[in-house]
Chain A
Amino acid sequence: QSVLTQPPSVSGAPGQRVTLSCTGSSSNIGAGYDVHWYQQVPGTAPKLLIYGNTNRPSGVPDRFSGSKSGTSASLAITGLQAEDEADYYCHSYDHSLEGYVFGSGTKLSVL
Chain B
Amino acid sequence: DVKVTQSSRYLVKRTGEKVFLECVQDMDHENMFWYRQDPGLGLRLIYFSYDVKMKEKGDIPEGYSVSREKKERFSLILESASTNQTSMYLCASSPGTSRVREQFFGPGTRLTVL
Do the two chains belong together in a single complex? no
Chain B residues within CB distance 8 Å of chain A: none
Chain A residues within CB distance 8 Å of chain B: none
